[in-house]
C-alpha cells in the first residue's frame, strides 16, 4: 500500500470498457465471481514513504492495466460515468472512502477502517481469482493475520456491491468453524481494500495434496464434523456458501477447520425463496440441480459439496472430476443414478429436457464405495441424493451414525502438526517439479515427460473450464431456437439484481481440489477405475488463470469444445446418452 497517489493517465475508461466487452464472453464459465478482475482504472503510482506495508502489486502494476469486461449476470453491467480523481477529502469522518460509503455503506456500518501502515506485510500466502492473500503482522497487537486484498473496480458499483456482500455475510457469521472477519484496511488514496482475517496455516486441499498424508477415519470424522458444524451455522443464519471445496476449508495448527471464502455466498430465506444463479460452486462439487439450471435452491447445494468432500477424504481422490458441465452430470448420473421420473416432474428444471437420459442410470454408491467404513455410507448416500430435499440438513448429518459410532471423531488438537501446506505451496512445489521434469525430458525423450505431466495433473485441477461457458451459451441459443415459447435468457436466468452472483461465469477455480495419493487403489469398482483412467487420459485444466487460458487452446481440451460446437438444434430429442456417447467418441479419437 504505502503512500499512494492517484494519477490520471488513461483515456476515458468507457473506451477501455468498450474494448474489454468484446474480450470476455458474457457466459464466461467462472460464475464464481461477480467482481471485476480489472484493476481500478485510475492508474496508481506508489511511493512507499511511510507505510511498512509495501504493496508489491501496485508497484508492479503495468502502465495500461488490462480491463476485463464485467458481467454481473448474463449481461454486461451498465456502468455510470466514472469518477476521475480521488483525494483525501473523499474520506468521511471515520476514514472510509466515499466510493465505498456510497455503495457499501451497510457493510461497513459501525466499523472504522484500519490504516495500512499499522500492518507489516510478510509474505504472499494465497492467490484467488479475485484476490491476493498476504500474511501480515498487526503492528498494534503483534498478532499474525491474513490480509485478503480484494480486486474490484471502484468505478463499477456492482463490483463493489459484490465485495460488500462478502463483508456483510462474514459479519453476520460468528462460529468457531467459520473464518472471522476481524476488520478492514483501506489505504488513503488507493482503491484497494483489505479484509483482515485470523491467520490459518493450512487448507484442506493443500494438506490432502501432501505426499504421505492419508487421513484416518477419526481424522476424517473430525474434519467433517467441523465442516458440517460451520455449515449448520451458516444455514441457520440464512447464508448459503455456494463454493464448498478443499481449498476453502482452512485449518490452523490446532486442527481447527474454518470455512472461508464467502465471495460467492448469498443470503437466502427458505420461506421466501428468490431466484438465484445456478452458475455457482466449483464444478467437481456442483450438485445436479445447479447443472440442470435450478434457480430455486437451498442448503442442499452446500450439503452436496460436503458429500463430495467426505467421499474424497476417505478415498484419497476427487470422486467426480468432470471437465465440462455435461461430463460432470454424466459422472453424477453414473454414480448416483439419474433422477427419478417423479423428480423430473416435480423439479421442472430448465435443462431437464435436454439432459434427461433415455435409459435411467442405476445408483451404485454402495458398490463403488464398498471399501469405505460402513457408517459412512448412509451419510454419503444422503448427502449425494439427487433430490436436494433428501439431503436433509447439516444438523441431521451431524446426528448421523457416522458421528455416533466408533471410532469417533478425534479431537482437533490431536491431529498431526503438518508442515506448511497451503495450496499455494503445493502449486509452487508442483511447478518446480514440472520444471525439473522439463529438463529431464530433454534428456529422456518428450513422450515420457508428457506422461508424467498428465498423471500429475489428473487428480488436481478443478475445472469449470471455459468450455462450460460455451456449452451454456449453446444451450441457451438452442433453447431459444427450439422452444416455440422460448423465453429470453433474462427470463430464464435471474437478472443480476436478483442475485448478486448471477451468471458471471465460474471460471474454474484453479484451486485444486483435494488431491490425495494418486496411487490409491482402494476402489475396485469399474466405475471408479474408469473415471480415474479417463481423467488420466484427459487431464483437467491446469492450475492458475493464465495457464487456464492456454489450456483452452490445448488440443487435449479441444474434443469437448469440438463436440459442443457440433451441437446443433437438429439434435433435439436425442438423449443425454447420445451426447455422452458422442462426446466420448470424440475424446477417444
Ligand atoms: N485467513 C487465511 N489464512 C491463511 N490463508 C488464507 C486465509 N484466507 C485465505 N487464505 C489463502 O488464500 C487463498 C485465496 O483466498 P480466498 O479463497 O479467500 O480468495 P478468492 O479470491 O476468493 O479465491 P477463489 O478464486 O478460490 O475464490 C486460499 O485458498 C488460502 O490458501
**What DSSP element (H or E) covers 5?**
strand 3-6
Specify the residue with its C-alpha closest to ligand 1, atom 4. 200
Asked whether 462 lines ligand 1 (CB < 6 A), one says no
Average pLDDT over residues 166-188: 93
Strand arrangement of the beta sheet that strand 249-251 belongs to: 202-203, 249-251, 257-259
Atom of ligand 1 minimally distant from the CA of 198: 1
Specify the residue with its C-alpha closest to ligand 1, atom 14. 128
Three-state secondary structure call for residue 273: coil
Cα distance between residue 307 and residue 309, in whole Å? 5
Share of the chain above pLDDT 90, in %: 41
| pLDDT value for 207 | 87
Q: DSSP code of 73?
A: S
Can 243 be counted among the known catalytic residues? yes
Taking the centre of ligand 1 as the mean of its atom positions, its distance from the CA of residue 72, in whole angstroms, is 22
Q: Where are the domains of the chain?
A: 98-198, 202-414
Asked whether 126 lines ligand 1 (CB < 6 A), one says yes
Atom of ligand 1 minimally distant from the CA of 135: 4
Please, are residues 520 and 317 in contact by the beta-carbon 8 Å criterion?
A: yes
Q: How confident is the model at residue 586 (pLDDT cuts 50, 70, 90)?
A: very low
| pLDDT value for 284 | 97
Taking the centre of ligand 1 as the mean of its atom positions, its distance from the CA of residue 93, in whole angstroms, is 31
Specify the residue with its C-alpha closest to ligand 1, atom 20. 128
Cα distance between residue 273 and residue 435, in whole Å? 50
**What DSSP element (H or E) covers 136?**
strand 131-138
Please, are residues 8 and 189 in contact by the beta-carbon 8 Å criterion?
A: no
Cell numbers at 342, concatenated: 417423479
Asked whether 338 lines ligand 1 (CB < 6 A), one says no
Q: How confident is the model at residue 445 (pLDDT cuts 50, 70, 90)?
A: low
Comparing 126 with 119, the larger pLDDT belongs to: 119
Atom of ligand 1 minimally distant from the CA of 258: 1
Could you give the angle at which helices 325-336 and 558-565 cross, rounded to 10 degrees? 100
Taking the centre of ligand 1 as the mean of its atom positions, its distance from the CA of residue 149, in whole angstroms, is 10
Going by C-alpha positions, the residue among 211, 205, 202 that lies closest to residue 520 is: 211
- CA 554, 560, 566 angle in degrees (round to 5)? 120
Cα distance between residue 266 and residue 264, in whole Å? 7
Question: Distances from the Cα of 213 to the Cαs of 255, 513, 518, 572, 582, in angstroms?
Answer: 14, 15, 12, 48, 39
| ipTM, two decimals | 0.96
Question: Distances from the Cα of 253 to the Cαs of 203, 398, 412, in angstroms?
Answer: 11, 24, 9
Atom of ligand 1 minimally distant from the CA of 126: 12
Atom of ligand 1 minimally distant from the CA of 130: 21
Taking the centre of ligand 1 as the mean of its atom positions, its distance from the CA of residue 545, in whole angstroms, is 15
| pLDDT of 97 higher than 90 | no
β-strands 114-115, 181-186: how paired? parallel
Asked whether 125 lines ligand 1 (CB < 6 A), one says yes
- The pTM of this model reads 0.66
Asked whether 423 lines ligand 1 (CB < 6 A), one says yes
Asked whether 199 lines ligand 1 (CB < 6 A), one says yes
Asked whether 146 lines ligand 1 (CB < 6 A), one says yes
Question: Distances from the Cα of 578 to the Cαs of 119, 236, 320, 481, 484, in angstroms?
Answer: 58, 42, 20, 20, 23
Query: In this predicted structure, which of 24-38, 60-74, 87-101, 557-571 has the lowest mean pLDDT?
Result: 557-571
Please, are residues 269 and 329 in contact by the beta-carbon 8 Å criterion?
A: no
Taking the centre of ligand 1 as the mean of its atom positions, its distance from the CA of residue 568, in whole angstroms, is 40
Taking the centre of ligand 1 as the mean of its atom positions, its distance from the CA of residue 422, in whole angstroms, is 10
CA torsion angle for 87, 88, 94, 100 (degrees, to 10)? 20
The mean pLDDT value of the chain amounts to 67
| pLDDT value for 146 | 97
Taking the centre of ligand 1 as the mean of its atom positions, its distance from the CA of residue 560, in whole angstroms, is 30
Best residue for ligand 1 mutational test, from 131, 150, 230 (most atoms within 8 Å of Cβ):
131
Taking the centre of ligand 1 as the mean of its atom positions, its distance from the CA of residue 83, in whole angstroms, is 30
Taking the centre of ligand 1 as the mean of its atom positions, its distance from the CA of residue 129, in whole angstroms, is 9
pLDDT tens-digit series, residues 319-336: 999 999 999 999 999 999
- CA 328, 330, 333 angle in degrees (round to 5)? 110
Query: In this predicted structure, which of 168-172, 207-211, 373-377 has the lowest mean pLDDT?
Result: 207-211
Query: In this predicted structure, which of 24-38, 286-300, 316-330, 436-450 has the lowest mean pLDDT?
Result: 24-38
Residues 6+ apart with CB under 8 A from 167: 104, 107, 108, 181, 184, 195
Asked whether 268 lines ligand 1 (CB < 6 A), one says no
Please, are residues 155 and 79 in contact by the beta-carbon 8 Å criterion?
A: yes
Atom of ligand 1 minimally distant from the CA of 511: 26
Best residue for ligand 1 mutational test, from 31, 35, 125 (most atoms within 8 Å of Cβ):
125
Asked whether 511 lines ligand 1 (CB < 6 A), one says yes
Atom of ligand 1 minimally distant from the CA of 32: 27
CATH H superfamily, domain 98-198: Phosphorylase Kinase; domain 1 (3.30.200.20)
| pLDDT value for 99 | 78
Asked whether 148 lines ligand 1 (CB < 6 A), one says yes
**What DSSP element (H or E) covers 474?**
helix 466-482
- Binding-site residue set: 148
Comparing 320 with 162, the larger pLDDT belongs to: 320
Best residue for ligand 1 mutational test, from 260, 428, 463 (most atoms within 8 Å of Cβ):
260
Comparing 340 with 582, the larger pLDDT belongs to: 340
Question: Distances from the Cα of 208 to the Cαs of 43, 61, 308, 309, 380, in angstroms?
Answer: 40, 34, 14, 11, 19
CATH of domain 202-414: 1.10.510.10
| pLDDT value for 219 | 96
Question: Distances from the Cα of 200 to the Cαs of 120, 148, 254, 497, in angstroms?
Answer: 17, 12, 10, 34
Specify the residue with its C-alpha closest to ligand 1, atom 31. 126
Residues 6+ apart with CB under 8 A from 209: 421, 423, 426, 460, 512, 514, 515, 516
| pLDDT value for 121 | 94
Average pLDDT over residues 451-460: 38
Please, are residues 402 and 326 in contact by the beta-carbon 8 Å criterion?
A: no
Please identify which of the residues 55, 138, 203, 243 carries the catalytic annotation: 243
Average pLDDT over residues 297-311: 98
Cell numbers at 214, concatenated: 492419508
CA count, 13 A, side-chain hemisphere, 136 = 29
Cα distance between residue 548 and residue 3, in whole Å? 34
**98-198 matches 202-414 in fold:** no
Asked whether 194 lines ligand 1 (CB < 6 A), one says no
Asked whether 188 lines ligand 1 (CB < 6 A), one says no
Specify the residue with its C-alpha closest to ligand 1, atom 17. 261
Asked whether 13 lines ligand 1 (CB < 6 A), one says no
- Binding-site residue set for ATP: 148
| pLDDT of 449 higher than 50 | no
In terms of Cβ atoms closer than 10 Å to its own Cβ (0-12, 13-18, 19+), residue 106 is exposed
Going by C-alpha positions, the residue among 195, 187, 258, 188 that lies closest to residue 223 is: 258
Amino acid at each position: 500500500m504505502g503512500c499512494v497517489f492517484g494519477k490520471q493517465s488513461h483515456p476515458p475508461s468507457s473506451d477501455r470498457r468498450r474494448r474489454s466487452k468484446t474480450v470476455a464472453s458474457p457466459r464466461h464459465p467462472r460464475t464464481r465471481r461477480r467482481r471485476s478482475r480489472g484493476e481500478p482504472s485510475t492508474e496508481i503510482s506508489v511511493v512507499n514513504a511511510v507505510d511498512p506495508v509495501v504493496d508489491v502489486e501496485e508497484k508492479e502494476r503495468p502502465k495500461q492495466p488490462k480491463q476485463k469486461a464485467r458481467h454481473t449476470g448474463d449481461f454486461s453491467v451498465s456502468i455510470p460515468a466514472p469518477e476521475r480523481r480521488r483525494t483525501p477529502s473523499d474520506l468521511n469522518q471515520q476514514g472510509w472512502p466515499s466510493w465505498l460509503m456510497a455503495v457499501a455503506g451497510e457493510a461497513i456500518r459501525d466499523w472504522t477502517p484500519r490504516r495500512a501502515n499499522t500492518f507489516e506485510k510478510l509474505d504472499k500466502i494465497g492467490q484467488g481469482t479475485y484476490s491476493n492473500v498476504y500474511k501480515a503482522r498487526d503492528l498494534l497487537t503483534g498478532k499474525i493475520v491474513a490480509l485478503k486484498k480484494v480486486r474490484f473496480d471502484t468505478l463499477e458499483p456492482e463490483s463493489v456491491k459484490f465485495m460488500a456482500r462478502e463483508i456483510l455475510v462474514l459479519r453476520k457469521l460468528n462460529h468457531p468453524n467459520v473464518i472471522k472477519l476481524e476488520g478492514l484496511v483501506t489505504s488513503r488514496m488507493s482503491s484497494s481494500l483489505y479484509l483482515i482475517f485470523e491467520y490459518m496455516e493450512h487448507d484442506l486441499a493443500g494438506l490432502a495434496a501432501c505426499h504421505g498424508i492419508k487421513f484416518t477415519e477419526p481424522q476424517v470424522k473430525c474434519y467433517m464434523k467441523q465442516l458440517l458444524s460451520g455449515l449448520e451455522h451458516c444455514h441457520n443464519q440464512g447464508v448459503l456458501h455456494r463454493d464448498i471445496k478443499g481449498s476453502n476449508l482452512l485449518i490452523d495448527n490446532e486442527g481447527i477447520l474454518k470455512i472461508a471464502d464467502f465471495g460467492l455466498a448469498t443470503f437466502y430465506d427458505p420461506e421466501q425463496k428468490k431466484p438465484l444463479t445456478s452458475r455457482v460452486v466449483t464444478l467437481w462439487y456442483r450438485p445436479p440441480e445447479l447443472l440442470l439450471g435450478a434457480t430455486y435452491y437451498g442448503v442442499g447445494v452446500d450439503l452436496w459439496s460436503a458429500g463430495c468432500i467426505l467421499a474424497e477424504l476417505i478415498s484419497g481422490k476427487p470422486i467426480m472430476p468432470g471437465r465440462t458441465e455435461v461430463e460432470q452430470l454424466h459422472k453424477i448420473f453414473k454414480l448416483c443414478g439419474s433422477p427419478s421420473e417423479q423428480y423430473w416432474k416435480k423439479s421442472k428444471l430448465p435443462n431437464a429436457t435436454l439432459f434427461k437420459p433415455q435409459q435411467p442410470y442405476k445408483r451404485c454408491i454402495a458398490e463403488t464405495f464398498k471399501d469405505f467404513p460402513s457408517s459412512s455410507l448412509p451419510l454419503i448416500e444422503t448427502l449425494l441424493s439427487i433430490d436436494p430435499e433428501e439431503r436433509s440438513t447439516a444438523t441431521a448429518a451431524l446426528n448421523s451414525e457416522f458421528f455416533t459410532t466408533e471410532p469417533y471423531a478425534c479431537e482437533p488438537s490431536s491431529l498431526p502438526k503438518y508442515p506448511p501446506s497451503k495450496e499455494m505451496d503445493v502449486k509452487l512445489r508442483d511447478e518446480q517439479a514440472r520444471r525439473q521434469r522439463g529438463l529431464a525430458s530433454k534428456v529422456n525423450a518428450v513422450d515420457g515427460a508428457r506422461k508424467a505431466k498428465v498423471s500429475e495433473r489428473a487428480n488436481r485441477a478443478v475445472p469449470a473450464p471455459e468450455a462450460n461457458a460455451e456449452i451454456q451459451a449453446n444451450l441457451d441459443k438452442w433453447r431459444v431456437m427450439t422452444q416455440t415459447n422460448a423465453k429470453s435468457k433474462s427470463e430464464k436466468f435471474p437478472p443480476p439484481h436478483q442475485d448478486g452472483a448471477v451468471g458471471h461465469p465460474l471460471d474454474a477455480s484453479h484451486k485444486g481440489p483435494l488431491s490425495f495419493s494418486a496411487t490409491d487403489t482402494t476402489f475396485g469398482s469399474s466405475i471408479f477405475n474408469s473415471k480415474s483412467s479417463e481423467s488420466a487420459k484427459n487431464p483437467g485444466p491446469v492450475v492458475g488463470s493464465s495457464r487456464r487460458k492456454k489450456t483452452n487452446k490445448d488440443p487435449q481440451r479441444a474434443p469437448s469444445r469440438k463436440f459442443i460446437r457440433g451441437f446443433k438444434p437438429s439434435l433435439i430429442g436425442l438423449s443425454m446418452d447420445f451426447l455422452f456417447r458422442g462426446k466420448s467418441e470424440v475424446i477417444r479419437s
